[in-house]
Amino acid sequence: MTPSQLVAHFRENQNNNKTLKSLFASQFLGKFSPEELEGLTKSISKELTRREEAVVQERIDYLTSLGYSVSK
């Protein structure tokens, strides 16, 4: 299974609130060891942080392009 097929499979198994259906989660996630799940959690957290930072940077760039000075 390629990464894009896996993502498509995840998307097919989402509820309306964009969470994985419990049956899929129990069948898929139950195959991982606790250590592997912890690794997945860390990787997901890092990816979410990276995406949040990208959104913030896009907004900073937009405001800067309008002539605003942006600082933390």
List the chain pLDDT tens, one digit each, 72 residues: 898 988 888 888 887 787 877 777 878 888 999 999 999 999 999 999 999 999 999 999 999 999 999 987
Please tell me the predicted confidence (pLDDT) of residue 20. 79
Domain boundaries, the chain: 1-31, 34-72
Please tell me the predicted confidence (pLDDT) of residue 51. 97
Please tell me the predicted confidence (pLDDT) of residue 38. 95
Please tell me the predicted confidence (pLDDT) of residue 65. 97
Please tell me the predicted confidence (pLDDT) of residue 70. 93
Contact (CB, 8 A) for 14 and 3 = no
Structure token digits, residue 43: 């990787």
